[in-house]
Amino acid sequence: MNENEFEGAAREFGGRVQDAVGGLAGDAKTQAEGKWNQAAGSAQRTMGAAAEELRETVGERPLTALALVAGVSFLLGFLMRR
């Protein structure tokens, strides 16, 4: 588990607590902030896992990664020219 995954999981858990507290207190703003933090934490955790997997893949297959980046760069350059 990398730093982003850990921070995302912590933020998601904190958002769940904040949502529950807001629900119990009848505070819609706190509840909405909790839901926002849950979603943001989940996204951060997912992106952290994806970044870690990408790092491992590039380490295992650097030439394939380089070819993929070159192809995407060429395609973007072609599309931006128009």
pLDDT of residue 63: 95
Contact, 57 vs 28, CB < 8 A?
no
Please determine, for residue 20, whether its predicted confidence score (pLDDT) is greater than 80. yes
Which residues lie closer than 8 Å to 63 by C-beta, 6 or more apart?
A: none
Scanning the structure block, which residue is given the tokens 């030439």?
A: 63
Please determine, for residue 82, whether its predicted confidence score (pLDDT) is greater than 90. no
Q: Where are the domains of the chain?
A: 3-81
